Amino acid sequence: MALWMVRAGKYGEHEQRFFSDGRCYLTWGGTEELDLSASGDFEGVKQLLATLYPDEKPKTRLNWASQIYPFVFEIKPGDWIVLPRKHASAIAFAEVQSGYAFDAKAEPVYRHSIKVRWLNTDVPRTAFAQDLLYSFGAFMTVCRIAKNDAETRVNAMHMPMAPRGIWAAACACARTTCRATRLGIARWWSSRVAWLSSATST
């Protein structure tokens, strides 16, 4: 399972459309008329962007290609999407159901998409360690979140586990820590129980 961050617009303006449609959209201006999969590979994406944006600096186009390419060619069924929300202090998570699709009949801004199943759209930011929040705050529209073992850690949060087992693990960890850290661990595990309960009930 790979973990990908996909943003719903600079100001979160597409969030509700993402949630209601069960899709993540690549709302990249200037690409609306093109099936991006026809570019074939990373070099093809770079060449396409050079044609579409001839006045942009090569480094800028390279940065854009490094975001568009994975959305079109690398995000696969079973991967997870993390979407930092703009209008709530929360993170949304989804599981990818199918990869990139181009719909020429859709509204222009919503023609590039991947199908997802939203697991939870309101996981509080307080459920995550600061290093993960830093990763979720990357200045990218699309990127893979792999630093600090993020994929394993986020996946473990959603693994089916009885509450008794969760608290046993928390207590085992707490025995080796100070009081302040124990309180933090209790809040940490409580938020994960709440997430598990919410996600598995949908």
Condensed to tens digits (0 to 9), the pLDDT of residues 46-71 reads 999 999 999 999 999 999 999 999 99
Strands 90-102 and 112-124: antiparallel
pLDDT band of residue 185 (cuts 50, 70, 90) is: very low
| Bridge partner list, 117 | 95
At position 12, the amino acid (one-letter code) is G
What band does 165 get if pLDDT is binned at 50, 70 and 90? very low
Tokens describing residue 92: 């949304």
Partnered with residue 118 across adjacent β-strands are 94
Please determine, for residue 174, whether its predicted confidence score (pLDDT) is greater than 70: no
- What tokens does 138 get? 């990357």
List the one residue out of 127, 123, 129 whose CA is nearest residue 92.
123
pLDDT at residue 170 greater than cutoff 70: no
**Dihedral of alpha carbons 63, 66, 69, 70, sign:** negative
pLDDT tops 70 at residue 7: yes
Q: What is the pTM of this model?
A: 0.78
> In CATH, which of 3.10.590, 1.10.530, 3.30.70, 3.40.50 is domain 3-159?
3.10.590
Which pLDDT value is given to residue 27?
Answer: 95
Whether pLDDT at 179 is above 60: no
pLDDT digits (tens, 9 = 90+) for 93-150: 999 999 999 999 999 999 999 999 999 999 999 999 999 999 898 889 999 999 888 9
Mean pLDDT, the chain, rounded, equals: 84
- Whether the pLDDT of residue 28 is over 80: the answer is yes
* Gap between the Cα atoms of 47 and 175, Å rounded: 57
* Model confidence at 168: pLDDT above 90: no
Q: What is the mean pLDDT of residues 17-22?
A: 98
Q: Determine the pLDDT at residue 195.
A: 56
Structure-model confidence comparison of residues 17 and 161, the more confident one: 17
How would residue 156 be classed by pLDDT, with cut points 50, 70 and 90?
Answer: confident
Give the whole-angstrom CA distance, residue 38 versus residue 169. 49
Q: Residue 124 forms beta bridges with which residues?
A: 90
